[in-house]
Amino acid sequence: MLAKIGVLGTAFLISVVALIFSTSSEQQPVFASAKEGHEKLVAEIPCSKDYVSEPFKGCIPSQCKRVVLDHMVTTDEAKSLLLLAKKGLAFGGSDGGASILDLHSGALSKGNSFVDIFKMLGSKFSEVFTKEDFQIYKRVKEKVFQAIINEFNIPHTDLYLTKPTFFSRMTPKPAKTIHDEYWHLHIDKKTYGTFHYTSLLYLTTYGKDFTGGRFTFVDKDKNSTVEPKLGRVSFFTSGSENPHFVEKVSSGERYAITISFTCDPTKAIKIQ
Protein backbone atom coordinates (compact mmCIF):
# COMPACT_ATOMS: atom_id res chain seq x y z
CA MET A 1 0.00 0.00 0.00
CA LEU A 2 1.17 3.52 -0.70
CA ALA A 3 0.92 4.86 2.77
CA LYS A 4 2.67 6.66 5.53
CA ILE A 5 3.31 4.32 8.44
CA GLY A 6 0.29 3.90 10.68
CA VAL A 7 0.21 4.70 14.37
CA LEU A 8 1.32 1.65 16.31
CA GLY A 9 2.13 1.07 19.95
CA THR A 10 5.83 1.64 20.56
CA ALA A 11 6.55 -1.78 21.99
CA PHE A 12 4.67 -3.55 19.21
CA LEU A 13 6.39 -1.49 16.54
CA ILE A 14 9.83 -2.26 17.92
CA SER A 15 9.11 -5.97 18.15
CA VAL A 16 7.72 -6.36 14.63
CA VAL A 17 10.38 -4.21 13.03
CA ALA A 18 13.00 -6.32 14.76
CA LEU A 19 11.30 -9.41 13.37
CA ILE A 20 11.25 -8.02 9.83
CA PHE A 21 14.90 -7.12 9.75
CA SER A 22 16.10 -10.24 11.55
CA THR A 23 14.56 -12.44 8.86
CA SER A 24 15.66 -12.13 5.25
CA SER A 25 12.86 -11.88 2.69
CA GLU A 26 14.08 -15.08 1.07
CA GLN A 27 13.42 -17.00 4.30
CA GLN A 28 9.92 -15.72 4.96
CA PRO A 29 7.12 -18.32 4.81
CA VAL A 30 5.15 -18.01 1.58
CA PHE A 31 1.37 -18.04 1.99
CA ALA A 32 0.70 -17.79 -1.77
CA SER A 33 3.46 -18.46 -4.30
CA ALA A 34 3.43 -16.88 -7.75
CA LYS A 35 4.43 -20.27 -9.17
CA GLU A 36 1.18 -21.88 -8.03
CA GLY A 37 -2.49 -21.32 -8.83
CA HIS A 38 -4.99 -21.51 -6.00
CA GLU A 39 -8.75 -21.76 -6.23
CA LYS A 40 -8.87 -20.37 -2.71
CA LEU A 41 -6.48 -19.96 0.21
CA VAL A 42 -7.79 -18.84 3.61
CA ALA A 43 -5.93 -18.02 6.81
CA GLU A 44 -8.15 -17.33 9.82
CA ILE A 45 -6.67 -15.07 12.48
CA PRO A 46 -7.95 -13.57 15.76
CA CYS A 47 -9.57 -10.17 15.30
CA SER A 48 -8.11 -7.12 16.98
CA LYS A 49 -10.20 -4.85 19.20
CA ASP A 50 -10.38 -2.19 16.51
CA TYR A 51 -14.02 -2.97 15.69
CA VAL A 52 -15.49 -3.30 19.20
CA SER A 53 -16.92 0.21 19.54
CA GLU A 54 -18.18 0.53 15.97
CA PRO A 55 -21.93 0.57 15.23
CA PHE A 56 -21.84 -1.44 11.99
CA LYS A 57 -22.68 -4.79 13.56
CA GLY A 58 -23.89 -6.51 10.39
CA CYS A 59 -20.74 -5.58 8.53
CA ILE A 60 -17.71 -5.47 10.81
CA PRO A 61 -15.89 -8.80 10.98
CA SER A 62 -16.74 -11.36 13.62
CA GLN A 63 -13.91 -13.48 12.27
CA CYS A 64 -10.80 -12.04 10.67
CA LYS A 65 -9.07 -13.57 7.68
CA ARG A 66 -6.62 -13.36 4.81
CA VAL A 67 -7.89 -14.77 1.52
CA VAL A 68 -6.24 -15.38 -1.85
CA LEU A 69 -8.16 -16.22 -5.06
CA ASP A 70 -6.36 -16.95 -8.31
CA HIS A 71 -9.19 -17.86 -10.68
CA MET A 72 -11.93 -15.31 -9.94
CA VAL A 73 -10.59 -12.57 -12.21
CA THR A 74 -9.79 -13.78 -15.72
CA THR A 75 -6.43 -13.27 -17.39
CA ASP A 76 -8.09 -11.12 -20.07
CA GLU A 77 -9.71 -8.91 -17.43
CA ALA A 78 -6.42 -8.47 -15.60
CA LYS A 79 -4.54 -7.67 -18.82
CA SER A 80 -7.20 -5.13 -19.80
CA LEU A 81 -6.87 -3.39 -16.45
CA LEU A 82 -3.09 -3.39 -16.78
CA LEU A 83 -3.44 -1.58 -20.11
CA LEU A 84 -5.88 0.86 -18.50
CA ALA A 85 -3.36 1.60 -15.74
CA LYS A 86 -0.55 2.11 -18.24
CA LYS A 87 -2.69 4.46 -20.35
CA GLY A 88 -3.45 6.64 -17.36
CA LEU A 89 0.02 6.64 -15.86
CA ALA A 90 1.49 7.62 -19.24
CA PHE A 91 0.11 11.11 -18.55
CA GLY A 92 2.05 11.39 -15.31
CA GLY A 93 4.21 9.23 -13.11
CA SER A 94 6.14 9.92 -9.94
CA ASP A 95 9.79 10.96 -9.98
CA GLY A 96 10.19 8.34 -7.26
CA GLY A 97 9.39 4.64 -7.25
CA ALA A 98 5.65 4.70 -6.59
CA SER A 99 2.92 6.13 -8.84
CA ILE A 100 -0.85 6.02 -8.42
CA LEU A 101 -3.90 6.57 -10.60
CA ASP A 102 -7.23 7.05 -8.85
CA LEU A 103 -10.16 7.01 -11.28
CA HIS A 104 -12.58 8.08 -8.55
CA SER A 105 -10.90 11.29 -7.35
CA GLY A 106 -8.83 11.86 -10.49
CA ALA A 107 -5.55 11.85 -8.55
CA LEU A 108 -2.53 11.01 -10.69
CA SER A 109 1.10 11.03 -9.55
CA LYS A 110 3.17 13.50 -11.55
CA GLY A 111 6.69 14.49 -10.58
CA ASN A 112 6.79 15.02 -6.83
CA SER A 113 3.07 15.77 -6.42
CA PHE A 114 -0.35 14.95 -7.85
CA VAL A 115 -2.51 16.32 -10.64
CA ASP A 116 -6.18 15.83 -11.53
CA ILE A 117 -6.37 13.63 -14.62
CA PHE A 118 -10.00 14.66 -15.20
CA LYS A 119 -8.96 18.31 -15.53
CA MET A 120 -5.80 17.42 -17.43
CA LEU A 121 -7.61 15.47 -20.15
CA GLY A 122 -10.87 17.40 -20.15
CA SER A 123 -13.07 16.35 -23.07
CA LYS A 124 -10.39 13.88 -24.23
CA PHE A 125 -10.88 11.74 -21.12
CA SER A 126 -13.48 9.54 -22.84
CA GLU A 127 -11.11 9.05 -25.77
CA VAL A 128 -8.34 7.76 -23.50
CA PHE A 129 -10.56 5.70 -21.19
CA THR A 130 -13.32 3.90 -23.06
CA LYS A 131 -16.70 2.62 -21.91
CA GLU A 132 -15.28 -0.88 -22.18
CA ASP A 133 -12.45 0.06 -19.80
CA PHE A 134 -14.96 1.12 -17.17
CA GLN A 135 -17.23 -1.85 -17.79
CA ILE A 136 -14.32 -4.20 -17.07
CA TYR A 137 -13.30 -2.14 -14.04
CA LYS A 138 -16.84 -2.22 -12.63
CA ARG A 139 -17.20 -5.93 -13.34
CA VAL A 140 -13.98 -6.79 -11.55
CA LYS A 141 -14.84 -4.52 -8.63
CA GLU A 142 -18.20 -6.30 -8.35
CA LYS A 143 -16.50 -9.72 -8.35
CA VAL A 144 -14.26 -8.64 -5.48
CA PHE A 145 -17.21 -7.11 -3.61
CA GLN A 146 -19.20 -10.34 -3.94
CA ALA A 147 -16.24 -12.44 -2.79
CA ILE A 148 -15.85 -10.33 0.35
CA ILE A 149 -19.52 -10.26 1.33
CA ASN A 150 -19.76 -14.01 0.77
CA GLU A 151 -16.62 -14.77 2.77
CA PHE A 152 -17.64 -12.60 5.72
CA ASN A 153 -21.44 -13.09 5.51
CA ILE A 154 -22.15 -9.39 5.02
CA PRO A 155 -25.51 -8.19 3.62
CA HIS A 156 -24.80 -6.64 0.22
CA THR A 157 -26.46 -3.40 1.30
CA ASP A 158 -24.06 -2.96 4.24
CA LEU A 159 -20.66 -2.83 2.49
CA TYR A 160 -19.47 0.09 0.37
CA LEU A 161 -16.58 0.97 -1.92
CA THR A 162 -14.44 3.62 -0.22
CA LYS A 163 -11.38 5.76 -0.84
CA PRO A 164 -8.61 5.52 -1.66
CA THR A 165 -9.18 2.94 -4.39
CA PHE A 166 -6.40 3.18 -6.96
CA PHE A 167 -4.03 1.65 -9.48
CA SER A 168 -0.38 1.57 -8.44
CA ARG A 169 2.94 1.14 -10.20
CA MET A 170 6.08 0.43 -8.19
CA THR A 171 9.60 0.55 -9.63
CA PRO A 172 13.16 0.47 -8.25
CA LYS A 173 13.52 4.27 -8.48
CA PRO A 174 14.58 5.82 -5.15
CA ALA A 175 11.89 7.66 -3.19
CA LYS A 176 11.59 11.40 -3.73
CA THR A 177 8.72 12.07 -1.30
CA ILE A 178 6.92 10.26 1.52
CA HIS A 179 4.34 9.10 -1.04
CA ASP A 180 7.01 6.95 -2.67
CA GLU A 181 7.80 5.12 0.57
CA TYR A 182 5.39 2.22 0.16
CA TRP A 183 7.55 -0.25 2.10
CA HIS A 184 6.69 0.95 5.63
CA LEU A 185 4.87 -1.36 7.99
CA HIS A 186 1.30 -0.15 8.45
CA ILE A 187 -2.30 -1.02 9.33
CA ASP A 188 -4.86 0.06 6.75
CA LYS A 189 -7.63 0.89 9.19
CA LYS A 190 -5.35 3.23 11.13
CA THR A 191 -3.57 4.68 8.12
CA TYR A 192 -6.69 5.47 6.09
CA GLY A 193 -9.46 5.56 8.69
CA THR A 194 -12.20 4.41 6.30
CA PHE A 195 -11.10 0.83 5.57
CA HIS A 196 -12.77 -2.28 7.01
CA TYR A 197 -11.80 -4.68 4.23
CA THR A 198 -8.80 -4.29 1.93
CA SER A 199 -8.43 -6.04 -1.41
CA LEU A 200 -5.65 -6.11 -3.98
CA LEU A 201 -5.75 -7.29 -7.57
CA TYR A 202 -2.30 -7.91 -8.98
CA LEU A 203 -1.68 -7.02 -12.62
CA THR A 204 1.90 -8.30 -12.98
CA THR A 205 3.75 -11.35 -11.72
CA TYR A 206 6.58 -11.63 -9.19
CA GLY A 207 9.69 -13.24 -10.66
CA LYS A 208 8.54 -12.58 -14.23
CA ASP A 209 7.69 -8.89 -14.54
CA PHE A 210 9.54 -7.68 -11.44
CA THR A 211 11.58 -8.79 -8.45
CA GLY A 212 11.08 -7.66 -4.88
CA GLY A 213 7.61 -6.19 -4.31
CA ARG A 214 6.18 -9.08 -2.32
CA PHE A 215 3.35 -8.37 0.14
CA THR A 216 4.12 -9.47 3.70
CA PHE A 217 1.83 -9.84 6.71
CA VAL A 218 3.69 -9.45 10.00
CA ASP A 219 2.65 -11.67 12.91
CA LYS A 220 4.17 -12.05 16.36
CA ASP A 221 6.02 -15.27 15.59
CA LYS A 222 6.53 -15.11 11.82
CA ASN A 223 5.91 -13.26 8.59
CA SER A 224 3.60 -14.55 5.84
CA THR A 225 4.16 -13.52 2.24
CA VAL A 226 1.86 -13.20 -0.77
CA GLU A 227 3.71 -13.18 -4.08
CA PRO A 228 1.90 -11.04 -6.67
CA LYS A 229 0.64 -12.81 -9.77
CA LEU A 230 -1.36 -11.56 -12.77
CA GLY A 231 -5.05 -11.87 -11.88
CA ARG A 232 -4.47 -12.84 -8.24
CA VAL A 233 -6.89 -11.29 -5.74
CA SER A 234 -5.89 -10.97 -2.10
CA PHE A 235 -8.25 -9.56 0.51
CA PHE A 236 -8.20 -9.25 4.28
CA THR A 237 -9.70 -7.45 7.25
CA SER A 238 -8.12 -4.02 7.59
CA GLY A 239 -7.53 -3.84 11.35
CA SER A 240 -4.54 -4.30 13.63
CA GLU A 241 -4.73 -8.06 13.16
CA ASN A 242 -3.20 -7.53 9.70
CA PRO A 243 -0.12 -5.28 9.88
CA HIS A 244 1.78 -5.53 6.62
CA PHE A 245 4.36 -4.03 4.31
CA VAL A 246 5.48 -4.32 0.70
CA GLU A 247 9.05 -5.34 -0.02
CA LYS A 248 10.99 -2.79 -2.09
CA VAL A 249 10.84 -3.52 -5.81
CA SER A 250 14.35 -4.32 -7.00
CA SER A 251 13.76 -4.64 -10.75
CA GLY A 252 10.94 -4.28 -13.28
CA GLU A 253 7.50 -2.77 -12.67
CA ARG A 254 4.86 -3.99 -10.23
CA TYR A 255 1.25 -3.05 -11.07
CA ALA A 256 -1.77 -3.61 -8.84
CA ILE A 257 -5.18 -2.21 -7.92
CA THR A 258 -6.13 -1.51 -4.33
CA ILE A 259 -9.91 -1.82 -3.94
CA SER A 260 -11.04 -0.77 -0.48
CA PHE A 261 -14.35 -1.26 1.29
CA THR A 262 -16.02 0.30 4.31
CA CYS A 263 -18.97 -0.47 6.55
CA ASP A 264 -19.63 3.26 7.01
CA PRO A 265 -22.15 4.54 4.43
CA THR A 266 -20.94 8.13 4.93
CA LYS A 267 -17.53 7.09 3.55
CA ALA A 268 -18.86 5.44 0.37
CA ILE A 269 -17.65 6.47 -3.09
CA LYS A 270 -18.92 5.74 -6.59
CA ILE A 271 -17.15 4.96 -9.85
CA GLN A 272 -17.06 8.07 -12.03
Active site positions, annotated = 254
Distance CA 58, CA 24 (A): 40
As a whole number of angstroms, the longest Cα–Cα distance in the chain is 53
Q: In Å, how far are 80, 130, 205, 235 from 75, measured between CA atoms?
A: 9, 19, 12, 18
Dihedral sign, CA of 227, 103, 150, 236?
positive
Whether residue 174 has a cis bond before it, omega within 30° of 0: no
CB-count burial class (<10 Å; 0-12, 13-18, 19+) for 42: exposed
Tell me how crowded residue 236 is: count the other CB atoms within 10 A of its CB.
Answer: 25
Distance CA 107, CA 105 (A): 6
Distant-in-sequence, close-in-space partners of 162: CB < 8 Å, separation ≥ 6: 194, 195, 260, 261, 262, 264, 267, 268, 269
Distance CA 32, CA 227 (A): 6
Distance CA 150, CA 198 (A): 15
242 three-state secondary structure: coil
